[in-house]
Structure 1
Amino acid sequence: MKPDVATEKSKAMGRSGLAAYIEDPDSFPSSRVIYSNEKFVVINDAYPKSIIHTLILPRDLKKSVMRPQDAFDDSAFLAECVAEEKKVRKLVATELRRRFGQQSASDRPLIEALESDDPPEQLPPGRDWEKEAVSGIHSNPSMRNLHIHVMSREFCGEKMNKTNHYQSFTTDFLVPLDQFPLTKHDHRRHYSWMPVDMICWRCGKNFGNRMLRLKEHLELEKDEWIKE
Protein backbone atom coordinates (compact mmCIF):
# COMPACT_ATOMS: atom_id res chain seq x y z
CA MET A 1 0.00 0.00 0.00
CA LYS A 2 1.44 3.37 -1.05
CA PRO A 3 1.96 5.76 1.91
CA ASP A 4 -0.15 8.90 1.89
CA VAL A 5 1.52 12.11 0.72
CA ALA A 6 0.89 14.07 3.93
CA THR A 7 2.52 11.40 6.08
CA GLU A 8 5.52 11.20 3.78
CA LYS A 9 5.96 14.97 4.02
CA SER A 10 5.80 14.83 7.81
CA LYS A 11 8.42 12.08 7.86
CA ALA A 12 10.68 14.21 5.69
CA MET A 13 10.53 16.92 8.33
CA GLY A 14 12.55 14.70 10.69
CA ARG A 15 12.33 15.65 14.36
CA SER A 16 9.81 18.41 13.49
CA GLY A 17 7.46 16.04 11.69
CA LEU A 18 4.69 16.09 14.30
CA ALA A 19 4.17 19.81 13.70
CA ALA A 20 2.41 19.00 10.42
CA TYR A 21 -0.32 17.12 12.27
CA ILE A 22 -0.79 19.94 14.76
CA GLU A 23 -1.01 22.61 12.07
CA ASP A 24 -3.28 20.82 9.59
CA PRO A 25 -4.74 17.51 10.81
CA ASP A 26 -7.37 17.55 8.07
CA SER A 27 -4.67 17.05 5.44
CA PHE A 28 -4.05 13.52 6.73
CA PRO A 29 -6.22 10.47 6.04
CA SER A 30 -8.34 8.86 8.76
CA SER A 31 -5.89 5.96 8.83
CA ARG A 32 -3.37 8.38 10.32
CA VAL A 33 -5.38 11.01 12.24
CA ILE A 34 -7.89 9.38 14.59
CA TYR A 35 -9.52 12.66 15.63
CA SER A 36 -8.72 16.28 16.33
CA ASN A 37 -10.23 19.15 18.26
CA GLU A 38 -9.12 22.66 19.13
CA LYS A 39 -6.74 21.43 21.83
CA PHE A 40 -5.46 18.03 20.66
CA VAL A 41 -4.70 15.89 17.64
CA VAL A 42 -4.65 12.12 18.15
CA ILE A 43 -2.84 10.01 15.58
CA ASN A 44 -1.69 6.49 14.83
CA ASP A 45 2.08 6.52 15.22
CA ALA A 46 3.82 6.29 11.84
CA TYR A 47 6.49 4.09 13.47
CA PRO A 48 4.41 1.78 15.71
CA LYS A 49 6.22 -0.09 18.46
CA SER A 50 3.07 -2.02 19.44
CA ILE A 51 0.10 -3.40 17.54
CA ILE A 52 -1.84 -0.31 18.62
CA HIS A 53 0.33 2.78 19.10
CA THR A 54 -1.27 6.20 19.27
CA LEU A 55 0.10 9.67 20.01
CA ILE A 56 -1.69 12.60 21.65
CA LEU A 57 -0.41 15.93 20.32
CA PRO A 58 -1.32 19.07 22.29
CA ARG A 59 -2.00 21.98 19.93
CA ASP A 60 -0.96 24.75 22.32
CA LEU A 61 2.02 26.07 20.34
CA LYS A 62 3.81 27.38 23.42
CA LYS A 63 3.51 24.12 25.31
CA SER A 64 4.15 21.96 22.26
CA VAL A 65 7.77 23.09 21.92
CA MET A 66 8.55 22.73 25.62
CA ARG A 67 10.10 19.68 27.24
CA PRO A 68 7.16 17.73 28.68
CA GLN A 69 8.74 17.75 32.15
CA ASP A 70 8.53 21.55 32.10
CA ALA A 71 5.18 21.84 30.31
CA PHE A 72 3.53 19.57 32.90
CA ASP A 73 4.57 21.87 35.72
CA ASP A 74 1.49 23.82 34.60
CA SER A 75 -1.29 22.07 36.54
CA ALA A 76 -4.08 23.24 34.23
CA PHE A 77 -2.30 22.00 31.12
CA LEU A 78 -1.43 18.72 32.83
CA ALA A 79 -5.09 18.22 33.80
CA GLU A 80 -6.19 18.71 30.18
CA CYS A 81 -3.65 16.16 28.98
CA VAL A 82 -4.64 13.65 31.66
CA ALA A 83 -8.29 13.94 30.63
CA GLU A 84 -7.40 13.42 26.96
CA GLU A 85 -5.19 10.46 27.81
CA LYS A 86 -8.14 8.79 29.56
CA LYS A 87 -10.27 9.23 26.43
CA VAL A 88 -7.59 7.75 24.19
CA ARG A 89 -6.93 4.88 26.58
CA LYS A 90 -10.62 3.94 26.28
CA LEU A 91 -10.30 4.01 22.48
CA VAL A 92 -7.25 1.74 22.63
CA ALA A 93 -9.10 -0.62 24.98
CA THR A 94 -12.10 -0.75 22.64
CA GLU A 95 -9.84 -1.59 19.70
CA LEU A 96 -8.05 -4.29 21.70
CA ARG A 97 -11.41 -5.89 22.53
CA ARG A 98 -12.48 -5.68 18.87
CA ARG A 99 -9.30 -7.38 17.70
CA PHE A 100 -8.66 -9.90 20.45
CA GLY A 101 -11.78 -10.26 22.59
CA GLN A 102 -12.91 -13.48 20.91
CA GLN A 103 -9.54 -15.07 21.69
CA SER A 104 -9.45 -13.93 25.32
CA ALA A 105 -10.71 -16.40 27.93
CA SER A 106 -11.60 -13.62 30.37
CA ASP A 107 -13.47 -11.63 27.72
CA ARG A 108 -15.37 -14.45 26.04
CA PRO A 109 -18.30 -14.62 28.53
CA LEU A 110 -19.03 -10.92 28.00
CA ILE A 111 -18.85 -11.17 24.22
CA GLU A 112 -21.06 -14.26 24.18
CA ALA A 113 -23.60 -12.49 26.39
CA LEU A 114 -23.62 -9.43 24.15
CA GLU A 115 -24.06 -11.55 21.04
CA SER A 116 -26.80 -13.78 22.46
CA ASP A 117 -30.40 -13.47 21.30
CA ASP A 118 -31.47 -12.73 24.88
CA PRO A 119 -28.65 -10.83 26.68
CA PRO A 120 -28.84 -10.97 30.49
CA GLU A 121 -29.63 -7.79 32.37
CA GLN A 122 -26.42 -8.19 34.36
CA LEU A 123 -23.56 -8.64 31.92
CA PRO A 124 -20.31 -10.40 32.86
CA PRO A 125 -17.54 -7.86 33.57
CA GLY A 126 -15.22 -8.99 30.79
CA ARG A 127 -11.54 -8.23 30.51
CA ASP A 128 -10.29 -4.81 31.56
CA TRP A 129 -8.48 -3.92 28.35
CA GLU A 130 -7.56 -0.47 29.66
CA LYS A 131 -5.07 -2.22 31.94
CA GLU A 132 -3.48 -3.71 28.82
CA ALA A 133 -2.38 -0.28 27.63
CA VAL A 134 0.65 1.75 28.65
CA SER A 135 1.04 5.48 28.31
CA GLY A 136 3.35 8.35 29.07
CA ILE A 137 6.07 10.58 27.69
CA HIS A 138 9.71 9.87 26.99
CA SER A 139 12.18 11.60 29.28
CA ASN A 140 14.27 12.60 26.26
CA PRO A 141 11.80 12.69 23.35
CA SER A 142 13.07 11.98 19.85
CA MET A 143 10.61 14.47 18.33
CA ARG A 144 10.52 18.22 18.97
CA ASN A 145 6.79 18.57 19.58
CA LEU A 146 5.33 17.33 22.85
CA HIS A 147 3.55 14.01 22.42
CA ILE A 148 2.02 11.42 24.72
CA HIS A 149 2.20 7.73 23.85
CA VAL A 150 -0.85 5.51 24.45
CA MET A 151 -0.30 1.96 23.23
CA SER A 152 -0.98 -1.72 23.75
CA ARG A 153 1.51 -3.40 26.01
CA GLU A 154 2.71 -6.37 23.93
CA PHE A 155 5.40 -4.31 22.11
CA CYS A 156 5.11 -6.26 18.87
CA GLY A 157 4.75 -3.33 16.47
CA GLU A 158 6.37 -3.50 13.06
CA LYS A 159 8.91 -0.80 14.00
CA MET A 160 10.07 -2.37 17.27
CA ASN A 161 13.55 -3.07 15.97
CA LYS A 162 16.18 -1.64 18.34
CA THR A 163 17.14 -2.13 21.96
CA ASN A 164 16.50 1.52 22.79
CA HIS A 165 13.02 1.22 21.24
CA TYR A 166 12.09 -1.48 23.72
CA GLN A 167 13.83 0.09 26.70
CA SER A 168 12.19 3.45 26.06
CA PHE A 169 8.79 1.91 26.86
CA THR A 170 9.69 -0.64 29.55
CA THR A 171 11.94 1.38 31.88
CA ASP A 172 11.48 4.61 33.80
CA PHE A 173 12.48 6.42 30.62
CA LEU A 174 8.71 6.34 29.99
CA VAL A 175 7.01 8.58 32.53
CA PRO A 176 3.24 8.08 33.08
CA LEU A 177 1.19 11.25 33.38
CA ASP A 178 0.15 10.40 36.93
CA GLN A 179 3.80 10.88 37.96
CA PHE A 180 3.69 14.60 37.12
CA PRO A 181 4.56 17.18 38.14
CA LEU A 182 8.07 15.88 38.81
CA THR A 183 10.03 17.19 41.76
CA LYS A 184 12.86 19.59 41.03
CA HIS A 185 15.56 16.95 41.51
CA ASP A 186 13.79 13.98 39.92
CA HIS A 187 16.32 12.28 37.61
CA ARG A 188 13.66 11.96 34.91
CA ARG A 189 13.79 15.72 34.36
CA HIS A 190 17.25 15.23 32.85
CA TYR A 191 17.46 11.53 32.06
CA SER A 192 21.10 10.69 31.32
CA TRP A 193 21.23 6.90 30.91
CA MET A 194 19.15 3.86 30.13
CA PRO A 195 19.50 0.35 31.59
CA VAL A 196 21.61 -2.04 29.52
CA ASP A 197 19.43 -5.13 29.82
CA MET A 198 16.10 -5.75 28.11
CA ILE A 199 13.63 -7.44 30.45
CA CYS A 200 10.48 -9.14 29.14
CA TRP A 201 7.50 -7.08 30.30
CA ARG A 202 5.45 -10.22 30.97
CA CYS A 203 7.71 -12.96 32.38
CA GLY A 204 10.74 -10.97 33.56
CA LYS A 205 13.32 -12.90 31.53
CA ASN A 206 16.52 -10.94 30.83
CA PHE A 207 17.58 -10.80 27.17
CA GLY A 208 20.56 -8.48 27.62
CA ASN A 209 20.97 -6.70 24.30
CA ARG A 210 19.81 -9.59 22.09
CA MET A 211 17.02 -7.90 20.18
CA LEU A 212 16.24 -10.70 17.75
CA ARG A 213 15.85 -13.19 20.58
CA LEU A 214 13.63 -10.74 22.44
CA LYS A 215 11.42 -10.14 19.39
CA GLU A 216 10.89 -13.89 18.95
CA HIS A 217 10.04 -14.18 22.62
CA LEU A 218 7.64 -11.22 22.53
CA GLU A 219 5.64 -12.86 19.75
CA LEU A 220 5.17 -15.95 21.93
CA GLU A 221 4.26 -13.83 24.94
CA LYS A 222 1.79 -11.84 22.80
CA ASP A 223 -0.10 -15.00 21.91
CA GLU A 224 -0.37 -16.04 25.56
CA TRP A 225 -1.28 -12.50 26.64
CA ILE A 226 -4.15 -12.40 24.14
CA LYS A 227 -5.48 -15.71 25.47
CA GLU A 228 -5.67 -14.52 29.09
Structure 2
Amino acid sequence: MAQETSQDAITEDEIAGTAPPASSASSSRNAFTALMAPKRKASPSTTPEKAKKPYNKNTFSKRDGLDDYILHPETYSSSRVIYYDSSFVAIHDLYPKSSVHTLLLPRSNHKQMHPFDAFSDPIFLSSVLEQVAKLRHIVAKELQRKYGPFSKQDIPREAVLNGEVPLPDNDELPVGRDWEKEVVAGVHARPSMNHLHVHVLSVDRFSECLKHRKHYNSFATDFFVPIEDFPLDKDDVRRHPGREGYLGSDMKCWRCGKNFGNKFVRLKEHLVEEFDAWKRE
Protein backbone atom coordinates (compact mmCIF):
# COMPACT_ATOMS: atom_id res chain seq x y z
CA MET A 1 0.00 0.00 0.00
CA ALA A 2 1.35 3.40 -0.93
CA GLN A 3 2.64 5.47 1.97
CA GLU A 4 -0.07 7.77 3.30
CA THR A 5 0.40 11.52 3.51
CA SER A 6 -1.17 13.83 6.06
CA GLN A 7 -4.05 14.31 3.67
CA ASP A 8 -4.75 10.60 3.21
CA ALA A 9 -6.09 8.06 5.71
CA ILE A 10 -5.09 9.00 9.26
CA THR A 11 -2.63 6.24 10.22
CA GLU A 12 -2.62 2.47 10.56
CA ASP A 13 -2.90 2.93 14.35
CA GLU A 14 -6.39 4.33 13.80
CA ILE A 15 -7.57 1.48 11.64
CA ALA A 16 -9.78 -0.91 13.59
CA GLY A 17 -8.43 -4.43 13.14
CA THR A 18 -10.34 -7.68 13.19
CA ALA A 19 -10.24 -9.84 16.32
CA PRO A 20 -10.58 -13.65 16.04
CA PRO A 21 -14.08 -15.09 16.32
CA ALA A 22 -15.42 -15.51 19.82
CA SER A 23 -18.39 -17.54 21.02
CA SER A 24 -21.73 -16.72 19.38
CA ALA A 25 -24.30 -14.63 21.21
CA SER A 26 -27.81 -13.36 20.61
CA SER A 27 -28.24 -10.51 18.16
CA SER A 28 -29.94 -8.52 20.89
CA ARG A 29 -26.80 -8.36 23.01
CA ASN A 30 -26.08 -5.02 24.65
CA ALA A 31 -22.92 -4.48 26.66
CA PHE A 32 -24.64 -1.92 28.84
CA THR A 33 -27.84 -3.72 29.95
CA ALA A 34 -26.83 -3.66 33.61
CA LEU A 35 -26.50 0.11 33.53
CA MET A 36 -30.26 0.60 33.55
CA ALA A 37 -30.72 -1.03 36.99
CA PRO A 38 -31.56 1.42 39.82
CA LYS A 39 -28.90 -0.03 42.11
CA ARG A 40 -25.23 -0.14 41.28
CA LYS A 41 -24.06 -3.52 40.08
CA ALA A 42 -20.81 -4.79 38.69
CA SER A 43 -20.83 -4.24 34.94
CA PRO A 44 -19.03 -6.32 32.35
CA SER A 45 -15.80 -4.83 31.13
CA THR A 46 -16.20 -2.37 28.29
CA THR A 47 -12.53 -2.63 27.39
CA PRO A 48 -12.29 -3.97 23.84
CA GLU A 49 -10.87 -7.46 23.79
CA LYS A 50 -7.45 -7.98 22.26
CA ALA A 51 -6.75 -10.27 19.34
CA LYS A 52 -5.50 -13.68 20.47
CA LYS A 53 -3.02 -13.93 17.64
CA PRO A 54 -1.13 -11.39 15.53
CA TYR A 55 -2.96 -9.67 12.74
CA ASN A 56 -2.05 -11.18 9.37
CA LYS A 57 -1.62 -8.18 7.10
CA ASN A 58 -1.59 -10.45 4.06
CA THR A 59 -5.12 -11.73 4.70
CA PHE A 60 -6.77 -8.55 3.41
CA SER A 61 -6.13 -4.86 3.24
CA LYS A 62 -6.13 -3.14 6.61
CA ARG A 63 -8.46 -0.59 5.07
CA ASP A 64 -11.01 -3.42 4.83
CA GLY A 65 -10.63 -4.26 8.52
CA LEU A 66 -14.28 -3.48 9.35
CA ASP A 67 -15.71 -5.93 6.84
CA ASP A 68 -15.73 -8.97 9.12
CA TYR A 69 -17.75 -7.11 11.77
CA ILE A 70 -20.31 -6.27 9.09
CA LEU A 71 -20.47 -9.78 7.66
CA HIS A 72 -20.15 -11.86 10.84
CA PRO A 73 -21.04 -9.78 13.93
CA GLU A 74 -22.45 -12.85 15.67
CA THR A 75 -18.95 -14.35 15.95
CA TYR A 76 -17.75 -11.61 18.32
CA SER A 77 -18.34 -11.23 22.03
CA SER A 78 -20.28 -8.33 23.53
CA SER A 79 -17.01 -6.73 24.60
CA ARG A 80 -16.37 -6.08 20.91
CA VAL A 81 -19.80 -5.93 19.23
CA ILE A 82 -22.27 -3.83 21.22
CA TYR A 83 -25.34 -4.73 19.17
CA TYR A 84 -26.36 -5.60 15.64
CA ASP A 85 -29.38 -6.17 13.44
CA SER A 86 -29.94 -6.76 9.75
CA SER A 87 -29.03 -3.17 8.85
CA PHE A 88 -26.35 -1.98 11.31
CA VAL A 89 -23.56 -3.16 13.59
CA ALA A 90 -22.26 -1.12 16.54
CA ILE A 91 -18.78 -1.91 17.85
CA HIS A 92 -16.10 -0.57 20.15
CA ASP A 93 -13.31 1.18 18.25
CA LEU A 94 -10.18 -0.97 18.53
CA TYR A 95 -7.99 2.16 18.83
CA PRO A 96 -10.23 4.61 20.76
CA LYS A 97 -9.43 8.31 20.64
CA SER A 98 -11.63 9.10 23.66
CA SER A 99 -12.37 7.26 26.87
CA VAL A 100 -15.50 5.81 25.24
CA HIS A 101 -15.35 5.43 21.45
CA THR A 102 -17.75 3.39 19.34
CA LEU A 103 -18.43 2.92 15.63
CA LEU A 104 -21.70 2.49 13.77
CA LEU A 105 -21.35 0.31 10.66
CA PRO A 106 -24.10 0.12 8.01
CA ARG A 107 -24.63 -3.27 6.40
CA SER A 108 -26.54 -1.97 3.36
CA ASN A 109 -25.30 -1.20 -0.15
CA HIS A 110 -24.11 2.16 1.19
CA LYS A 111 -21.41 0.47 3.26
CA GLN A 112 -18.63 1.06 0.73
CA MET A 113 -19.58 4.60 -0.22
CA HIS A 114 -17.89 7.78 0.93
CA PRO A 115 -20.09 9.23 3.69
CA PHE A 116 -20.56 12.50 1.81
CA ASP A 117 -22.16 10.54 -1.04
CA ALA A 118 -24.02 8.02 1.12
CA PHE A 119 -25.65 10.70 3.26
CA SER A 120 -27.07 12.45 0.22
CA ASP A 121 -29.69 9.68 0.31
CA PRO A 122 -32.33 11.09 2.68
CA ILE A 123 -33.84 7.70 3.54
CA PHE A 124 -30.48 6.21 4.39
CA LEU A 125 -29.43 9.30 6.34
CA SER A 126 -32.63 9.11 8.37
CA SER A 127 -31.91 5.50 9.32
CA VAL A 128 -28.34 6.40 10.29
CA LEU A 129 -29.52 9.28 12.47
CA GLU A 130 -31.93 6.94 14.25
CA GLN A 131 -29.14 4.46 14.99
CA VAL A 132 -26.74 7.21 16.04
CA ALA A 133 -29.31 8.39 18.59
CA LYS A 134 -29.52 4.84 19.95
CA LEU A 135 -25.75 4.45 20.17
CA ARG A 136 -25.32 7.94 21.63
CA HIS A 137 -27.65 6.93 24.46
CA ILE A 138 -25.61 3.78 25.11
CA VAL A 139 -22.36 5.75 25.18
CA ALA A 140 -23.94 8.31 27.53
CA LYS A 141 -25.03 5.58 29.94
CA GLU A 142 -21.50 4.20 29.94
CA LEU A 143 -20.10 7.65 30.70
CA GLN A 144 -22.54 7.97 33.56
CA ARG A 145 -21.48 4.58 34.91
CA LYS A 146 -17.78 5.43 34.68
CA TYR A 147 -17.78 9.07 35.73
CA GLY A 148 -21.06 9.66 37.53
CA PRO A 149 -19.39 8.99 40.91
CA PHE A 150 -17.05 11.95 40.23
CA SER A 151 -19.59 14.40 38.79
CA LYS A 152 -21.11 17.15 40.92
CA GLN A 153 -24.27 17.04 38.82
CA ASP A 154 -24.74 13.36 39.61
CA ILE A 155 -24.40 13.64 43.40
CA PRO A 156 -28.16 13.13 44.12
CA ARG A 157 -28.28 10.13 41.78
CA GLU A 158 -25.15 8.60 43.24
CA ALA A 159 -26.52 9.00 46.76
CA VAL A 160 -29.49 6.79 45.81
CA LEU A 161 -27.30 4.25 44.02
CA ASN A 162 -25.03 4.00 47.03
CA GLY A 163 -27.95 3.49 49.40
CA GLU A 164 -27.27 6.74 51.24
CA VAL A 165 -30.80 8.02 50.62
CA PRO A 166 -33.97 6.18 49.56
CA LEU A 167 -35.52 6.32 46.12
CA PRO A 168 -37.92 9.24 45.62
CA ASP A 169 -41.63 8.55 46.01
CA ASN A 170 -41.97 8.00 42.27
CA ASP A 171 -39.37 5.17 42.49
CA GLU A 172 -37.23 6.82 39.82
CA LEU A 173 -33.58 7.73 40.09
CA PRO A 174 -32.68 11.43 39.93
CA VAL A 175 -31.81 12.24 36.33
CA GLY A 176 -28.49 13.86 37.11
CA ARG A 177 -26.04 15.09 34.47
CA ASP A 178 -27.08 15.04 30.82
CA TRP A 179 -24.30 12.79 29.59
CA GLU A 180 -25.68 12.71 26.05
CA LYS A 181 -24.41 16.27 25.70
CA GLU A 182 -20.92 14.86 26.31
CA VAL A 183 -21.14 12.62 23.22
CA VAL A 184 -20.31 13.61 19.64
CA ALA A 185 -21.05 11.72 16.44
CA GLY A 186 -19.68 12.18 12.95
CA VAL A 187 -17.41 11.04 10.15
CA HIS A 188 -14.00 11.96 8.86
CA ALA A 189 -13.83 14.04 5.71
CA ARG A 190 -11.31 11.53 4.41
CA PRO A 191 -12.05 8.19 6.11
CA SER A 192 -9.25 5.82 7.06
CA MET A 193 -11.29 2.73 6.21
CA ASN A 194 -13.01 1.54 3.04
CA HIS A 195 -16.25 0.76 4.82
CA LEU A 196 -18.54 3.56 5.88
CA HIS A 197 -18.43 4.11 9.64
CA VAL A 198 -19.78 6.76 11.98
CA HIS A 199 -17.80 7.62 15.11
CA VAL A 200 -19.89 8.00 18.27
CA LEU A 201 -17.58 8.97 21.13
CA SER A 202 -17.19 11.01 24.28
CA VAL A 203 -15.86 14.54 23.92
CA ASP A 204 -12.85 14.08 26.23
CA ARG A 205 -10.17 12.95 23.70
CA PHE A 206 -8.60 11.05 26.59
CA SER A 207 -6.92 7.84 25.43
CA GLU A 208 -3.54 6.14 25.23
CA CYS A 209 -4.28 5.57 21.53
CA LEU A 210 -4.21 9.32 20.88
CA LYS A 211 -0.56 9.41 19.84
CA HIS A 212 0.12 12.41 17.59
CA ARG A 213 -1.22 15.58 16.03
CA LYS A 214 -3.11 13.91 13.18
CA HIS A 215 -4.95 11.69 15.65
CA TYR A 216 -6.02 14.71 17.68
CA ASN A 217 -6.87 17.04 14.81
CA SER A 218 -8.90 14.35 13.06
CA PHE A 219 -11.44 14.79 15.88
CA ALA A 220 -10.77 18.37 17.00
CA THR A 221 -11.02 20.22 13.67
CA ASP A 222 -13.49 20.39 10.80
CA PHE A 223 -11.90 17.22 9.47
CA PHE A 224 -14.50 15.63 11.78
CA VAL A 225 -17.93 16.38 10.32
CA PRO A 226 -20.86 16.08 12.77
CA ILE A 227 -23.58 13.74 11.58
CA GLU A 228 -26.13 16.49 12.25
CA ASP A 229 -24.57 18.60 9.48
CA PHE A 230 -25.60 16.24 6.68
CA PRO A 231 -26.42 16.49 3.89
CA LEU A 232 -23.59 18.92 3.11
CA ASP A 233 -23.92 21.76 0.64
CA LYS A 234 -22.03 21.26 -2.60
CA ASP A 235 -19.71 24.17 -1.79
CA ASP A 236 -19.01 23.12 1.83
CA VAL A 237 -15.26 23.60 2.41
CA ARG A 238 -15.12 20.36 4.41
CA ARG A 239 -15.41 18.50 1.13
CA HIS A 240 -11.76 19.48 0.56
CA PRO A 241 -9.87 18.46 3.73
CA GLY A 242 -6.48 18.45 1.99
CA ARG A 243 -6.88 21.97 0.71
CA GLU A 244 -8.04 23.20 4.11
CA GLY A 245 -5.10 21.56 5.90
CA TYR A 246 -7.05 20.41 8.94
CA LEU A 247 -4.72 17.62 10.04
CA GLY A 248 -1.59 19.77 9.99
CA SER A 249 -3.14 22.78 11.71
CA ASP A 250 -2.37 24.00 15.23
CA MET A 251 -3.72 21.83 18.03
CA LYS A 252 -6.31 23.59 20.17
CA CYS A 253 -7.78 22.22 23.38
CA TRP A 254 -11.30 20.95 22.79
CA ARG A 255 -12.44 22.34 26.15
CA CYS A 256 -10.70 25.66 26.81
CA GLY A 257 -9.45 26.53 23.31
CA LYS A 258 -5.80 27.00 24.30
CA ASN A 259 -3.50 26.80 21.27
CA PHE A 260 -0.61 24.34 21.59
CA GLY A 261 0.72 24.80 18.06
CA ASN A 262 2.60 21.61 17.19
CA LYS A 263 3.51 20.77 20.81
CA PHE A 264 1.72 17.44 21.14
CA VAL A 265 3.39 16.37 24.40
CA ARG A 266 2.26 19.58 26.08
CA LEU A 267 -1.24 19.10 24.71
CA LYS A 268 -1.40 15.54 26.10
CA GLU A 269 -0.36 16.80 29.54
CA HIS A 270 -3.03 19.47 29.34
CA LEU A 271 -5.68 16.94 28.25
CA VAL A 272 -5.13 14.98 31.47
CA GLU A 273 -5.99 18.10 33.48
CA GLU A 274 -8.99 18.90 31.33
CA PHE A 275 -10.26 15.33 31.55
CA ASP A 276 -10.18 15.43 35.33
CA ALA A 277 -12.01 18.77 35.44
CA TRP A 278 -14.55 17.65 32.81
CA LYS A 279 -15.58 14.46 34.60
CA ARG A 280 -16.07 16.42 37.85
CA GLU A 281 -18.48 18.96 36.38
Query: TM (normalized to structure 2)?
Result: 0.76
Letter in 2 for 1:176: P
SS of 1:57's partner is strand
Q: How does 1:12-161 map to 2 (within 5 A)?
A: 13-60=61-108, 62-116=109-163, 118-121=166-169, 124-161=174-211
Aligned-pair CA distance for 1:114: 4.7
Equivalent in the alignment of 2:232: 182
CA contact (8 A) 2:49 2:80 kept: no
The reply to whether residue 223 of structure 1 matches residue 276 of structure 2 is yes
Residue by residue over 1:65-87, the C-alpha shift from the partner in whole angstroms, topping out at 9 and shown as x without a partner, is: 11000000000000000000000
Alpha-carbon distance change, 7 to 202 in structure 1, aligned in 2, over 3 angstroms: farther
Aligned-pair CA distance for 1:189: 2.4
SS of 1:134's partner is strand
Alpha-carbon distance change, 2 to 79 in structure 1, aligned in 2, over 3 angstroms: closer
Alpha-carbon distance change, 54 to 70 in structure 1, aligned in 2, over 3 angstroms: same
SS of 1:178's partner is helix
Report the count of equivalent residues.
227
Aligned-pair CA distance for 1:115: 4.5
SS of 2:136's partner is helix
User: For 1:7 and 1:93, how far apart are their aligned partners in 2?
Assistant: 32
SS of 1:158's partner is coil
Alpha-carbon distance change, 6 to 33 in structure 1, aligned in 2, over 3 angstroms: farther
Aligned-pair CA distance for 1:225: 0.6
Letter in 2 for 1:90: H
User: For 2:195 and 2:54, how far apart are their aligned partners in 1?
Assistant: 16
User: For 2:200 and 2:166, how far apart are their aligned partners in 1?
Assistant: 36
Equivalent in the alignment of 2:35: none
User: For 2:253 and 2:54, how far apart are their aligned partners in 1?
Assistant: 32
Residues 113-122 or 160-169, more deviating: 113-122
Aligned-pair CA distance for 1:190: 3.1
Residues 17-26 or 188-197, more deviating: 188-197
Could you tell me which of 248, 255, 259 is aligned with 1:206?
Answer: 259
Aligned-pair CA distance for 1:7: 9.2
Letter in 1 for 2:149: Q
SS of 1:225's partner is helix
Aligned-pair CA distance for 1:196: 1.3
User: Percent same amino acid among aligned pairs?
Assistant: 47
Aligned-pair CA distance for 1:125: 3.5
CA contact (8 A) 1:197 1:206 kept: yes
Aligned-pair CA distance for 1:2: 8.0
- The unaligned stretches of length 5 or more in structure 1 are none
Residues 111-120 or 43-52, more deviating: 111-120
Alpha-carbon distance change, 134 to 49 in structure 1, aligned in 2, over 3 angstroms: same
Query: TM (normalized to structure 1)?
Result: 0.92
Q: Considering fraction of residues, name the structure with more helix.
A: 1
Alpha-carbon distance change, 121 to 7 in structure 1, aligned in 2, over 3 angstroms: farther
User: For 1:43 and 1:176, how far apart are their aligned partners in 2?
Assistant: 19
CA contact (8 A) 2:187 2:198 kept: yes
SS of 1:54's partner is strand
Residue by residue over 1:175-203, the C-alpha shift from the partner in whole angstroms, topping out at 9 and shown as x without a partner, is: 11111111112122232221510000111
Letter in 2 for 1:27: T
